[in-house]
Amino acid sequence: MVAGRTILDVKALSIVHPGRRGKPASTAVDGVDLSVGAGEIVGVVGESGSGKTSLAMAVLGLGRTTSGSIDVDGIVPGPRLPLDQRAAIQMVFQDPHGSLDPRQSIGRGLRELRRLHKARTGWISDEDLLSRVGLSGDVLTRLPHQISGGQAQRVSIARALLLRPTLLLADEPTSALDVSVQAQILRLLKGLRDEEGLTILFISHDLAVVRSVCDRVYVMKSGRVVESGRTGEVLERPQHPYTQALLAAVPGGDARIPGLEAPAAEAPQVLRDELSQSRLATAGETA
């Protein structure tokens, strides 16, 4: 892991969805600047409709962009990327079962990816890959409806990992899961970052979830970033009224995911220094 290398660099990104059938055009993302360093887990938090998914789809290269630029480690995401660049940006979706072809067994799905990306996928066997995400080899023969939501989400993560992405996008990856399963998936994502230096852009509307996994966080409201910085600082001393309102809306005001400690203590020292600097920088901008 090269500390401090920027993996995702979003500059002045705007996304306007054209209105359909009489509805006016809506600005989903409005001049967003955002960056994610190698090995970081960066959160994007905001209420529903604040433009988080639009942002993620644009970074994936399969969504709309109106203006601004996106750079993923030298790749400009788009719908017609060469296979190898396509594999470099992977995404995990909210609906665990909906993310898998209902008629394709888990093993056949992995085989399809291996056939498509021969050179990229040889690094690990199916069994090792599955054990990496906490699953045993017997899920290989199962169809998606024969595994639980938590298992399906692990399979989705495994499918993404198989392609060795430089950036993993996770759009509300735990919102459809029970709280206990939620904690397991979050622990898995953190483990992948800690042990393999996976870089993750983590999207959620849930402050407790963001607090437990993200090193840094961007708070979005109506398509704009209203506040950003190290997770602990943003959530402990929120500057923007919107963040304060979001925090006040969480029951108890200090929700944490049981079994997950605050991330700052776990982040490598170099990274932590980097993070506090960037916190200062963005705090200066928003002040």
Ligand X SMILES: Nc1ncnc2c1ncn2[C@@H]1O[C@H](COP(=O)(O)OP(=O)(O)O)[C@@H](O)[C@H]1O
Among 53, 94, 121, 212, binds ligand X (CB under 6 A): 53
Closest by Cα among 61, 94, 99 to 205: 94
Name which of residues 9 to 28 contact ligand X (CB under 6 A).
Answer: 17, 26, 28
Three-class DSSP category at 211: helix
Which one of Mg ion, other proteins, ligand X, none is in contact with 54 (Cβ closer than 5 to 8 A by kind)?
ligand X
Distance CA 162, CA 174 (A): 20
Q: Verify binding: residue 43, ligand X, rule CB under 6 A.
A: no
C-beta neighbour count of 103 within 10 angstroms: 9
Closest distance to other proteins from the beta carbon of 193 (Å): 12
- Pick from 32, 37, 41, 53 the residue near Mg ion by CB under 5 A: 53
224 binds ligand X (CB under 6 A): no
From 78, 89, 79, select the one nearest 36 (Cα to Cα): 89
Which span (42-50, 73-81, 96-104, 237-245) binds ligand X, by CB under 6 A?
42-50
How far apart are the C-alpha atoms of 236 and 230, rounded to whole Å? 10
203 contacts other proteins (rule: CB under 8 A): no
How far does CA 129 lie from the centroid of its chain? 20
Separation CA 83–CA 223 (nearest Å): 31
DSSP state of 26: E
Instruction: Work out whether 104 is an interface residue with other proteins (CB under 8 A).
Output: yes
Which residues are bridge partners to 41 per DSSP? 200
Q: What one-letter code names the amino acid at 82?
A: P
- Residue ranges that bind Mg ion, judged by CB under 5 A: 53
- Residue ranges that bind other proteins, judged by CB under 8 A: 60, 62, 81, 83, 86-87, 89-91, 93-95, 98-104, 112-113, 116-117, 131, 134-136, 138-139, 142, 145-148, 150-151, 156, 159, 163, 181, 184, 187-188, 191
- Residue ranges that bind ligand X, judged by CB under 6 A: 17, 26, 28, 46, 48-54
